[in-house]
Structure 1
Amino acid sequence: MEKFYWAALGAAKGIGAAHMMALVRVFGSAQNAYEAEEADLLATGILSPKAVAAFVQSRKQQERFPEKLREQCERLHIDVIPIVSAAYPERLKRILQPPLVLYVKGTLPDFRYSIGMVGSRMADAYGLKVAGYFSSELAKAGVVIVSGGAKGIDTASHKGALQAGGKTVAVLGCGVDITYPPENRTMFEKIAEQGALISEYPPETEPLPFRFPERNRIISGLSQGVVLVEAAVRSGALITAEFAMDEGRDLFCIPGNIFSDKSAGPHKLIRDGARIALAPDDVLEELFPELAGSIHSNLFACMEDKAPLRVCSEQQRKLLDLLTQGPQTLEQLVTATGWSVAETSVLLLELQMKGFVQTDAAQRYVQS
């Protein structure tokens, strides 16, 4: 039951983990600290009078919180891991603002070899392919892939690790009982089987916008290094990159199309001194040299057996060349080639059947 009192302390707003841990040391247990009288809390000198008043008020508003949380977590098969537990990741304890508790669905892996994969929610085909490739190859080498469960690069990273049979962890900006985005339900179920869903928020906590930047520190905190695939200059992924640098983590950036705003973030950080990663081995050699050499040396070697030049017509290759510039509508491709709508449509359908082209959410054509 003690861990649920830790969770109750963690649910109090405006009081950091360090102050809560100090209260537990004074009162001897999380339960005693949570149930302490207002006068006794003030007497410790750990919290300001304003913080004590806010804590007492919060406690009144969440009546029987520990008992209700226990019932809820048992029903939903959610584990609660306080910061004092041996199961709490050691690396995460050392960040500036560690979460007081972690809510976990699944099984926490060994984070000795772990990499954070982050990037744009609105990634293009290039970014999705690179994220999936890096994650798959790193997972094959025994690295845990940590990401945020969101659309775009996060999803591609998790799927890459899952398809490789590796371990991956999704750090959520909501309760681990909530599937957000909803279309990732099946993926989340697989993550819980092959790794874990993690959150600092109790069950039923809604995915409000401010919670996602907060959870980014946990992604970098669990990781030995962070790989940034695609991101605009102002983006949540860059927040994670900043957390990584602030906490002394190694930051790797994958260069992209110089004409794409999605490459602006990585390119800026590269100019500022971040490492360039052109292949998964670049990450392994820097962080885990004992694992290096066990995977493909570069993306092109990995994809050699799928080279479209050998199986596509000259017209199809022209379409593929155009799609390297980014997503294109049918009308844009017709204008660029000068071919008819019917002819272009047939060629695109053939490329889709060969697995070289797909459509995105906006029904634009992109490379697979």
Structure 2
Amino acid sequence: MDARQDFYLAALAQCPGLGSRRLGLLLETGRDAVSLWQMPALEMSRLVRMPQGLVEALQSFRRTHPDLPESLAESCQQRGVHLCTIRDASYPYLLKEIFSAPPVLYFRGTLEPEARRVAIVGSRRLSPYGEALALEFGEQLAAAGLTVVSGAARGIDTRSHRGALKTGRTVAVLGCGIDVAYPAENRRLLMEIAESGGAVISEYGPGVQPLPAFFPARNRIISGLSEGTLVVEAAARSGSLITAELALGEGREVYALPGSVFSKMSEGCHHLIQQGASLVTKPCDILEDMGLVQKVAAKKQKSMTPDERRIYQVLSFDHPLSADEILMSLPDGEMPSLSFTLLQMELKGLIIENELHAYRRAERE
């Protein structure tokens, strides 16, 4: 499809009430996007059944936005945004298979239509346990050649992207316009994803602000792009369960990480496991299930000074400690150079500091 057709299709996708499914049926009639945009709504309703209210809404929308295809093209060019339609060879082939595939994808970065992808999703409110595992799974699955897909939300999504960026490729799917950073603090993360060989994707054009209804729609793209979906941490009513249900509905694999039976943050994962999701505890569980040979390099033993080893012994992988807590946990409760030693351990990749300035081991033993 030529660029002119692309932006006419994008304009049609913005018509209120038309929807991905109905627009897909219109395209199946063999009409091109320009002729559909110019076609009287009543004639369009003869091709695909539409209620009278939608016919009137379509007519009104196109009458009040006659130059929408051209303005979309100009807006995308100004913002460095690319467009991919469902008729293009660059459109991800797995996404084409879902029931309501988006007819248009706006993207920044690089689309790889045949990449093998796995989604990682979870709660916006995360525990240290969930944070550590989202980073670990993102990093190791990407290192093994999988593209990690998530929704760029706070919490598990952000940590999954961050982990994947360390070793490979990741894709962020937005529930807002392609040029809108939501949440705002992830603006830099989205830039890093697009600039590092990954992609930022949305079915919503430039300037579209996030609305609650957009996020369940976004979730079908996350699961639709992916061979499997991993739920790291999710409460009983978490939106991540919607993504998992969509994956199951499309015949895709669902993986879930177990947590403490006392943790509200793991209730959703435990429910998924009870319903038949695959219980996983380490990245190689997913790699083996997907028939991949793990490509993660063997961990090198990092040398530690005596003071570094003392600190390392009181830390764990999933329970961060503040500097004061570390000091109190040391056998003699003393270490004059604690701050300097912690910094050196971070530089060596032995430990990780979180946003609350607490420290944990970088790797599971």
Q: TM-score range with shorter-chain normalisation?
A: 0.7 to 0.9
Cα 1:26–1:111 shift into 2, 3 Å: closer
Shift of 1:86: 1.6
- Select 1:127's aligned residue among 123, 126, 130: 130
Shift of 1:21: 3.1
Aligned to 1:20: 23
1:135 touches 1:145 (CA, 8 Å); kept in 2? yes
Shift of 1:304: 6.8
Aligned to 2:236: 233
Instruction: Tell me, in whole angstroms, the C-alpha distance in 1 between the residues paired with 2:217 and 2:59.
Output: 24
- Please state if 1:76 is matched with 2:69: no
| Equivalent residues in 2 for 1:259-278, closer than 5 Å | 259-278=262-281
Q: Percent identity?
A: 38
TM-score, length-normalised on structure 1?
A: 0.84
How many residue pairs were aligned? 349
Root-mean-square deviation (Å): 3.1
What is the identity, as a one-letter code, of the residue corresponding to 2:255? F
Aligned to 1:149: 152
Shift of 1:113: 1.2
| Equivalent residues in 2 for 1:176-195, closer than 5 Å | 176-193=178-195, 194-195=197-198
2:91 touches 2:113 (CA, 8 Å); kept in 1? no
What is the identity, as a one-letter code, of the residue corresponding to 1:205? V
Aligned to 2:294: 293
Shift of 1:178: 1.3
Cα deviation, 1:195-236, whole Å, max 9, x if unaligned, reads 111000011011223212220110000000011111111111
2:93 touches 2:113 (CA, 8 Å); kept in 1? no
Cα 1:256–1:174 shift into 2, 3 Å: same
- Select 2:66's aligned residue among 63, 76, 94: 63
Aligned to 2:142: 139
Aligned to 1:39: 42
What is the identity, as a one-letter code, of the residue corresponding to 1:142? G
- Please state if 1:255 is matched with 2:258: yes
Structure 2 spans left out of the alignment, 5+ residues: none
State which drifts further: 207-216 or 218-227: 207-216
Shift of 1:266: 1.1
Cα deviation, 1:291-335, whole Å, max 9, x if unaligned, reads 223336xxxx8597599999454x9855x46x95x577899x69x
Shift of 1:364: 7.5
Cα 1:254–1:39 shift into 2, 3 Å: closer
Cα 1:186–1:52 shift into 2, 3 Å: same
- Select 1:168's aligned residue among 167, 170, 181: 170
Shift of 1:243: 1.0
Shift of 1:280: 1.4
What is the identity, as a one-letter code, of the residue corresponding to 2:360? Q
- Select 1:104's aligned residue among 100, 104, 107: 107
Tell me the SS of whatever aligns to 2:105.
Answer: strand
Aligned to 1:197: 200
Tell me the SS of whatever aligns to 1:145.
Answer: strand
